[in-house]
Amino acid sequence: MSADSAAATRGPWSLALRRFLRNRLAVAFLALFALIVVFVLAAPLWADQVAHTGPNTAHVLEKLSVNGQQRDVVTPQGEPIGPQWFEAGGRFFLGADSRLGRDEMVRLMYGGRISLLIGIVSGLITTLVAVILGLLAGFYKGWVDGLIARTMDVLWSLPVFLIGVAAGISMAVGGLKIGPLELHSGSIWAPILIISVFSIPYIGRAIRGEAMALSEKEFVEAAVAQGAGPPRLMFGEILPNLASTIVVFFALSVANNMLFEAGLSFLGAGVQPPNSSWGTMISSGVELLTTAPLLSIIPGAMIMLTVLSLNVVADGLRDALDPRAKVRLEAHAGMVEPEGAPV
Amino acid sequence: MVRGILAVLVLAAVAILGLVGCGDSGGGKEGGTLLGTYSSFPELDPGLAITQEAWIAMYNTYLPLLTYAHANGSAGSQVVPALAKGLPKISNGGKTYTLFLRPGLKYSNGEPVKPSDFRFAIERTIRLNSLGSPFYTNIVGAEEFQETKQGGIPGIKANDRTGEIVVDLVRPQGTFLNVLAMPFAAPLPESTPIEDLSSHPPAASGPYLIASVRSERSWEFERNPQWAKTNSKAMPDLPSGHVDKIKIDVVRNQATQVSDVEQGKYDWMENPPPPDQYNRIRQQFEGTQFRVEHTISTYYFWMNTTKPPFDDPKVRQAVNYAVNREALERIYAGQLIGSSQILPPGMPGYRKFDHYHYNLAKAKRMIAEANPSDTSVTVWTDNEPENQEAGEYYDGVLKEIGLKPTLKAINADNYFTVIGNQSTPDLDTGWSDWFQDYPHPSDFFQPLIGENIAPTSNLNIALMNDPELNQEVRRLGEQQLGPKQESEYAELDERYMEQAPWAPYGNRTVSTFISSAINLDNVVFNLTFGQDLTSFEFK
């Protein structure tokens, strides 16, 4: 079999994977993201086997044996112990988080699980709802499109963060009950719901535009001629052609949602205490910024690395799934001539 | 020769007048502008001033008929006459208070101070629905006035001709002298609008007036021109202040405030330094620019005495045994002194006891014995860093003794509104604090764990309602405070703690932090009003 015929027999996903793997930067950041995921998944192992404490366990009055010397986890003046690295057998590796004397490393790992969970779950919800709405608007057009697109415009034009904070605080006090849906205050689903709702236009508008363009294509007209109904046209014909866009936007959405969560939690409207997320950890660390800057810097760095890796991976995915987009972008930047450009 | 003698006499007269006009000098410079910082903008209307921050501003601007001595420590808890000629004559079994206004007093706008202005001020406070209005509902007719806002309060009779003011009470009230010394009762000209005047404060009667306000940003005190002309002569016991102007800026970031005071950009910060800088500042400046100030306050965890599991005194006692006050001292970074009783040190009637020395094993045993029907509880706290950490600590303690807590940390701005509203679900237990309104032990019983339970703005969050103890609170509240009553309040403190509606854990300290330009020794911290602005003096 010749190389050409081998390429011809490979499917588009296989080709995309090959293109993605050729992008070393994207692969490196995918590996970094995987490392972060492994790091947070290892939280119970570290907590049980190394730190011997839970993420919310206070050690205010305890002493720690460091190289044979007894040291206060929290001094009588309320100063938490700093990073011990491996001096205390891995306990308080990054020090204590606050005057409560909780193990910062354990909270960082557990907090990362919550931050990632919120980012991924809200990304999934956002993507799912946005794809459905985008498809409906793009396919039906007319009043359906008007209603959905204008609603998304309204949502897009709102001061999302301020409303998110207000909603988060309100739900932190009284929870939420809409029909059978009941969220207890402090539930992790509260920030997930807020973030999901306010992020819908971000993906929905792009999907709607593409769905609208795709619905005019010949293959859709052919399917109509064969008697396909709207559900088959939307989900059988148009949706598969949106796959690359959806994958890329999902990755970006997870990154954005993690930032959103960090912001909400920083302002007290996201993850509720005593649970931690990277956002709440930055918030509580700010109080000790001058004496223990690592308490804010480390969770901040974790957010930055996670978001950066997701953004680079999303870029790599876009280039791999839609190589013409890359050519278009580079042409726009004046790097190469686009295909078919007049010479 | 004669000219020389005259010159010496004139100079001597000027010097004497200067001293009289400016009050006691600590040997520093008179005049100048004091620059201070607050982290929030307080209520600058005496009818609405409820916070400690506001009371600092009111202490030397809006004088009530009575006030507190301008002194540190317990000496500052003594009620002394201000606009009144002397302390009131109490008659009719403790139900009638008769006072006389000092003659010749004037407001900063030149209007004379009249006895009827006192009645107007009380009515204005009530009309404004001020949080201070409940203090005056024992005056005959005040409760009806509060409901209707019509007519006036018949229990206050003021004679503008003779200067006599007679206040009739429904029941005897041992705290009424203190109530008269609150800013809500400071007379105001009858032309003062019935609205929040924090942006345009009304005419003042004290040594300073609030000359200008930039809402939410800054305000300035200036000397009241009528003080030097008339009022200081009528009230020679009250200080006139040393500085000519006081400019307060709202600087939200406390770390910035610390750095500004260290660099001398500001002379004083009203808030204590933030926790991460507190110990450094204390070590570096204590005795020269920094001083720890004790407050008459109690920090505590309340427990809803009407619902399981806290309807069982044994559970509440177990919680008291499980709370480690030493741990909470560390959580408050040394700005709290551990205690397990209701009355704080410095309050008349305080007698130290420790019925609940930390004993986790005993606490667990007691919970097991009590075997509560419901162990799921919601723990409430606000999101001020130390209070939130105290709430998180308490959440962990409850878990440790076998309860199933869920923590709710809500915004400090509306925390007390939420937990004071009885329609809020799951008000099981949580954090709270109380700073004295006045130096009388009744202030820690009657509103907080007495029989008063209101649907909104409720202060008795534990919903404590023990008929026997209520009767004792009522009985003592009707008496003037003396050694016998103080001893009875000490016993009452112990009796309440046997019932343990709260798990008290400490008394807060605050601080005075000033620049090197100010003389720390002269700065007065009044236990009721906070820093006394008339005591600030440049070196």
State the Cα–Cα distance between residues B434 and B420, nearest whole angstrom: 14
Q: Which of A100, A183, A275 should be substituted to probe chain B, the one whose Cβ sees the most B Cβ atoms within 10 Å?
A: A100
With an 8 Å Cβ cutoff, are A61 and B396 in contact?
no
Whether residue B10 has pLDDT greater than 90: no
Quick one: average pLDDT of B105-123?
Answer: 98
Place of tokens 């046997």: B498
With an 8 Å Cβ cutoff, are B389 and A289 in contact?
no
Task: Work out the pLDDT band at A181, boundaries 50, 70, 90.
Answer: confident
pLDDT tens digits for range B189-247 = 999 999 999 999 999 999 999 999 999 999 999 999 999 999 999 999 999 999 999 99
Q: Which residues of A touch B278 (CB under 8 A)?
A: 77-78
Phi and psi torsions of B159, nearest 5°: -110, 105
The more confident residue out of A237 and B3 is: A237
- Judge whether A136 and A148 are in contact, CB under 8 Å: yes
Quick one: average pLDDT of B79-86?
Answer: 98
Of B116, B86, B88, nearest to B235 (Cα)? B86
Across chain B, what does the average pLDDT equal?
A: 93
Task: Work out the pLDDT band at A43, boundaries 50, 70, 90.
Answer: very high
pLDDT tens digits for range B133-177 = 999 999 999 999 999 999 999 999 999 999 999 999 999 999 999
Amino acid A101: pLDDT: 97
Q: What is this model's ipTM?
A: 0.86
Whether residue B292 has pLDDT greater than 90: yes
Residue B50 one-letter amino acid: I
The more confident residue out of A191 and B14 is: A191
Nearest CA in chain B to A168: B410
Q: Which residues of A touch B396 (CB under 8 A)?
A: 56-58, 274
Q: DSSP H helical segments within chain A, as ranges?
A: 3-9, 12-22, 24-41, 43-46, 104-140, 142-157, 160-174, 189-214, 218-225, 230-232, 239-241, 243-266, 278-286, 294-321, 323-332
Amino acid A13: pLDDT: 84
A183 and B CB contact within 8 Å? no
With an 8 Å Cβ cutoff, are B409 and A61 in contact?
no
Question: From the CA of B343, how many Å to the nearest CA of chain A?
Answer: 24
Residue in A74, A290, A292 nearest the CB of B277: A290
Whether residue B188 has pLDDT greater than 90: yes
With an 8 Å Cβ cutoff, are B326 and A77 in contact?
no
Amino acid A330: pLDDT: 53
Quick one: average pLDDT of B500-514?
Answer: 97
Whether residue B19 has pLDDT greater than 80: no
Q: Which residues of A touch B292 (CB under 8 A)?
A: none
Whether residue A236 has pLDDT greater than 60: yes
The more confident residue out of B116 and B52 is: B116
Amino acid A126: pLDDT: 96
Phi and psi torsions of B404, nearest 5°: -120, 85
Whether residue A170 has pLDDT greater than 80: no
Amino acid A238: pLDDT: 95
Residue in A61, A186, A292 nearest the CB of B327: A61
Nearest CA in chain B to A56: B396
State the Cα–Cα distance between residues B207 and B534, nearest whole angstrom: 8
Q: Which residues of A touch B408 (CB under 8 A)?
A: 172-173, 185-186, 272
The more confident residue out of B277 and B429 is: B429
Amino acid B6: pLDDT: 43
State the Cα–Cα distance between residues A137 and A148, nearest whole angstrom: 6
- Judge whether B388 and A273 are in contact, CB under 8 Å: yes
Of B145, B204, B187, B188, nearest to B170 (Cα)? B145
Tokens of B102: 């000092």
Whether residue B77 has pLDDT greater than 50: yes
Amino acid A168: pLDDT: 77
Percent of chain A with pLDDT over 90: 70
pLDDT tens digits for range B37-49 = 999 999 999 999 9
Give the dihedral sign, CA B431/A183/B396/A104. Answer: negative
- Judge whether B100 and B86 are in contact, CB under 8 Å: yes
Amino acid A87: pLDDT: 94
Whether residue A253 has pLDDT greater than 60: yes
Phi and psi torsions of B97, nearest 5°: -115, 125
pLDDT tens digits for range A261-287 = 988 888 778 898 999 999 999 988 988
Q: How far is CA B9 from the centre of its chain?
A: 47
- Judge whether B227 and B9 are in contact, CB under 8 Å: no
Quick one: average pLDDT of B68-86?
Answer: 96
Whether residue B332 has pLDDT greater than 80: yes
Whether residue B5 has pLDDT greater than 70: no
pLDDT tens digits for range B436-467 = 999 999 999 999 999 889 898 899 999 999 99
Across chain A, what does the average pLDDT equal?
A: 89
Whether residue A9 has pLDDT greater than 80: no
Per DSSP (E only), the strands in B148-207 are 156-159, 164-168
Amino acid B274: pLDDT: 87
What are the C-alpha distances in Å from A18 to residues A21, A312, B198? 5, 17, 69
Pairing verdict, β B376-382 and B429-435: parallel
Quick one: average pLDDT of A165-173?
Answer: 77
Cβ pairs A/B, distance under 8 A: 95
Whether residue A342 has pLDDT greater than 60: no
pTM for the model: 0.87
Whether residue B341 has pLDDT greater than 90: yes
The more confident residue out of A299 and A8 is: A299
Task: Work out the pLDDT band at A340, boundaries 50, 70, 90.
Answer: very low
